[in-house]
Amino acid sequence: MDPFYAECRAYGAIINKKRNGKVAAFCHGHISLPATYELQLAKEFKIDDWQRPDEEYSLPVTKRKPFRAIVKELVTDSTPFTGKMIKQMLKDLMDLRNMYVYVRDVRADNYLGGKLVDFSSSWTAPHVLVSTYVRDEDVIELDLRWDLEQFDDMVKDAGIKTSLRAAPNLEFISKLRPRRKSIFYG
């Protein structure tokens, strides 16, 4: 459940499928630095949240655990996405799902230039919360569909008009007649 390991697992799946840099920002690997660098980096890059447990902030910097980071390509396009990028973004999201990577935090802030840049909330199967030994299958299905609903909401909130949808339209589907299997007597 640790955000660092969530990103490691997601990028591990992406790299194993040889899709690094295609479905998300390119990942070069990870790094661990002594906490003494925090003050310098905080000042230079205006970082104020290292996502540490609260009790570590009360310790002097020299006593804190090293911090970890995923090293990714520098995306210079600060625009999250445009309407022309939506189709590819949806394809990338579906590719991730086929790799059993569920982003769980699909929003404009996590995109740069149409590429996902944050997997800190992701689940990559096998994962304890995607296990039917731990949770009911219907609950898991709802959780996994959440990415798709978030994608559709993100596009709508951006004011982009498109017929593309990530999530099935459950309201429309509920109005359809149920399909019946016909029995063929031969």
Q: Is 32:10 a contact under the CB 8 Å cutoff?
A: no
Instruction: Report how far Cα 91 is from the mean position of its chain's Cα atoms.
Output: 14
Task: Summarize the confidence of residues 16-26 as an average pLDDT.
Answer: 96
- Average per-residue pLDDT for the chain: 88
Q: Is 31:4 a contact under the CB 8 Å cutoff?
A: no
Number of H helices, E strands in the chain: 6, 6
pLDDT class of 186 with cuts at 50, 70, 90: very low
Tell me the residue length of the chain. Answer: 186
Buried b (16+ CB within 10 A) or exposed e, 10-25: bbebbeeeebbeebbb
Task: Pick from 46-50, 58-62, 140-144 the range whose average pLDDT is largest.
Answer: 58-62
Task: Summarize the confidence of residues 111-133 as an average pLDDT.
Answer: 89
Q: What is the pTM of this model?
A: 0.81
Neighbours of 164 (CB within 10 A): 13
As beta bridge partners, residue 116 has 24, 111
pLDDT at 15 over 90: yes
Buried b (16+ CB within 10 A) or exposed e, 126-154: ebeebeeeeeeeeebeeebebbbbbbbeb
At residue 179, the pLDDT reads 66
Residues 134-184: pLDDT tens digits? Answer: 888 888 888 888 999 999 999 999 999 998 999 887 777 777 777 665 443
What are 17's two structure tokens?
Answer: 């499928």
At residue 154, the pLDDT reads 96
Residues 6+ apart with CB under 8 A from 23: 14, 92, 95, 96, 115, 116
